């Protein structure tokens, strides 16, 4: 019986109606669903593209895994659990970093900055060479301490990679009493010469961070050689990060947290997910409005096919069968619109990826020239399912009380 119902519903879509307006409304219904579906795919793919772009920026600097203390600010590398990480065969590099806030000064300019001391393994856990915007990367040249500043931080303090003057760093004494008569005597002082600037294109890095050698940071903040604030971990195999993260967490115990790149930038990715969800809900609301066309189309079709309904009833079709015919009719309109919309949306996204038709703007103010696009098939399936579900509801509403005897 379902095959007959489907056949009749399919014929009703393309058959000529007594009133041409019904054909027009049916086409408009399918077109509206198609346009909204394509728009949903394009908009969410652009948001995915921006997310992937920013994720790539963070990945140039952030380690694959980061170990931080559960409580307090520092951890030590001379404990057995931490020492075991250096001996693991599935870890390519372990780098100790020490990051705290200090006052930096160059001539008459001074401002607070996040000073990060890094060891020799830092370059194996970050693609620092790819984000150097001026000069070169070096925190120790064999004779002098060097510093690599974020591009925005260097501009704020009035220095660049070609300046030869010393950059002074100050931090308060971590232990002991403050000399109220000579507060300057309560500050630890180090200096370094700038080697280069980097650009991650994220404010919290470019405008606030500077890299120095780990020994300089340990002297500045009054820590010994085994103390840092985090461990950067570079695994040998990128495909087994979740397993390695769990193993490291089990090895270190409850006193440490092991963060992947998403957890290191949890606030950013949480905001991105919320924005994507709100955008999706807004587009679903627009789709809901477009689905009202299906209600109007089916209502007009049922009026037009009143004689056919009477004939089907006389041939033995009950009201449930007749309702299913028109329910399938509305659902097929939604299905055609969904298929066309998915094809159009995916093709537009692929063309944007290949040719970059839609530009962000002119000049050098943008990191990329065209809108980034990343089609995630999970989004496509979700959108298609949502459109089909709303199409079914829109078709069910006008036929729910259809009665062949009226």
pLDDT tens for each residue of 5-27: 665 656 666 555 544 556 677 78
Q: Looking at 225, 241, 264, which one is the last position of a domain?
A: 264
94 pLDDT exceeds 90?
Answer: yes
Mean pLDDT of the chain: 86
**Based on the domain organization, do 51 and 77 belong to the same domain?**
no
Q: Looking at 229, 247, 264, which one is the last position of a domain?
A: 264
Q: Is 198 within 8 Å of 133 (Cβ atoms)?
A: yes
**Based on the domain organization, do 313 and 389 belong to the same domain?**
yes
Residue 406 lies in a domain: no
Residue 133 lies in a domain: yes
Both structure tokens of 167: 């950059």
Both structure tokens of 69: 């203390």
**Based on the domain organization, do 164 and 278 belong to the same domain?**
no
List pLDDT tens digits, range 34-44. 999 999 999 99
CA distance 87 to 278: 46
Element (H, E) at 163: none
Q: Is 336 within 8 Å of 343 (Cβ atoms)?
A: no
Neighbours of 207 (CB within 10 A): 18
Average pLDDT for 329-352:
90
Only one residue has tokens 């630890």, namely 188
**Based on the domain organization, do 245 and 130 belong to the same domain?**
yes
Residue 137 lies in a domain: yes
Cα atoms in the 13 Å half-sphere on the side-chain side of 141 = 14
Which residues fall within 8 angstroms of residue 102, CB to CB, at 6 or more apart? 112, 113, 115, 169, 170, 171, 220, 221
| Per-residue confidence (pLDDT) for residue 14, from 0 to 100 | 58
CA distance 36 to 338: 9
Closest to 140 in 3D by CA, of 53, 82, 220, 211: 211
Average pLDDT for 273-290:
91
Residue 405 lies in a domain: no
According to DSSP, the residues that pair with 371 across neighbouring strands are none
Residue 287 lies in a domain: yes
Cα dihedral across residues 354, 358, 361, 363: positive or negative: positive
CA distance 404 to 303: 11
**Based on the domain organization, do 124 and 39 belong to the same domain?**
no
**Based on the domain organization, do 186 and 121 belong to the same domain?**
yes
Average pLDDT for 79-89:
89
pTM here is 0.81
- Expressed as residue numbers, the domain containing 42 is 2-58+268-399
Ordered alpha helix ranges (H), 227-318:
241-252, 261-264, 266-304, 306-314
**Ramachandran class of 344: left when φ > 0, alpha when ψ lies in -120 to 50, beta otherwise:** alpha
Q: Looking at 264, 280, 303, which one is the last position of a domain?
A: 264
Residue 306 lies in a domain: yes
List pLDDT tens digits, range 217-239. 999 999 999 999 999 999 988 77
Both structure tokens of 199: 């650009």
> Domain count of the chain?
2
CA distance 345 to 380: 9
**Based on the domain organization, do 357 and 385 belong to the same domain?**
yes
Residue 404 lies in a domain: no
Q: How confident is the model at residue 183 (pLDDT cuts 50, 70, 90)?
A: low
Both structure tokens of 27: 């086409």
**Based on the domain organization, do 297 and 386 belong to the same domain?**
yes
Both structure tokens of 200: 């991650």
Only one residue has tokens 């970093």, namely 97
**Based on the domain organization, do 231 and 274 belong to the same domain?**
no
Report which of residues 212 and 142 the model is more confident about.
212
CA distance 30 to 247: 52
CA distance 355 to 347: 12
**Based on the domain organization, do 157 and 236 belong to the same domain?**
yes
**Based on the domain organization, do 41 and 179 belong to the same domain?**
no
Residue 284 lies in a domain: yes
**Based on the domain organization, do 377 and 317 belong to the same domain?**
yes
């Amino acid at each position: 019986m379902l095959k007959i119902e489907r056949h009749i519903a399919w014929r009703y879509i393309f058959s000529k109606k007594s009133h041409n307006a019904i054909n027009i409304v049916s086409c408009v219904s399918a077109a509206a669903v198609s346009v909204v579906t394509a728009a949903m795919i394009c908009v969410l793919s652009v948001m995915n593209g921006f997310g992937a772009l920013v994720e790539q920026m963070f990945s140039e600097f952030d380690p694959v895994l980061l170990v931080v203390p559960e409580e307090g600010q520092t951890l030590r590398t001379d404990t057995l659990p931490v020492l075991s990480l250096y001996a693991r065969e599935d870890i390519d590099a372990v780098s100790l970093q020490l990051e705290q806030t200090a006052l930096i000064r160059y001539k008459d300019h001074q401002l607070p900055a996040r000073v990060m001391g890094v060891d020799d393994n830092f370059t194996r856990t970050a693609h620092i060479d790819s984000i150097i915007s001026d000069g070169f990367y070096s925190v120790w040249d064999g004779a002098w301490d060097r510093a690599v500043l974020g591009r925005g931080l260097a501009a704020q303090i009035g220095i660049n990679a070609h300046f030869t003057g010393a950059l002074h760093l100050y931090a308060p004494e971590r232990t002991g009493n403050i000399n109220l008569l000579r507060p300057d005597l309560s500050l630890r002082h180090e200096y370094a010469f700038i080697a280069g600037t980097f650009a991650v294109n994220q404010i919290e890095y470019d405008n606030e961070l500077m890299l120095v050698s780990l020994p300089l940071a340990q002297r500045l903040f009054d820590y010994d050689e085994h103390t840092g604030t985090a461990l950067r971990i570079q695994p040998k195999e990128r495909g087994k990060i979740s397993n390695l993260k769990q193993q490291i967490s089990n090895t270190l115990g409850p006193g440490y947290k092991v963060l992947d790149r998403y957890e290191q930038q949890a606030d950013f990715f949480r905001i991105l997910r919320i924005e994507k969800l709100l955008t999706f809900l807004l587009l679903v609301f627009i789709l809901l409005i477009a689905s009202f066309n299906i209600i109007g189309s089916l209502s007009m079709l049922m009026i037009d096919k009143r004689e056919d309904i009477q004939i089907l009833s006389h041939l033995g079709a009950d009201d449930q069968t007749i309702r299913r015919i028109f329910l399938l009719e509305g659902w097929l309109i939604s299905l055609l619109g969904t298929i066309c919309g998915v094809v159009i949306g995916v093709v537009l996204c692929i063309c944007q990826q290949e040719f970059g038709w839609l530009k962000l703007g002119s000049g050098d103010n943008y990191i990329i020239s065209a809108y980034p696009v990343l089609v995630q098939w999970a989004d496509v399936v979700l959108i298609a399912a949502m459109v089909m579900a709303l199409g079914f509801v829109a078709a069910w509403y006008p036929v729910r009380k259809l009665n062949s005897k009226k």
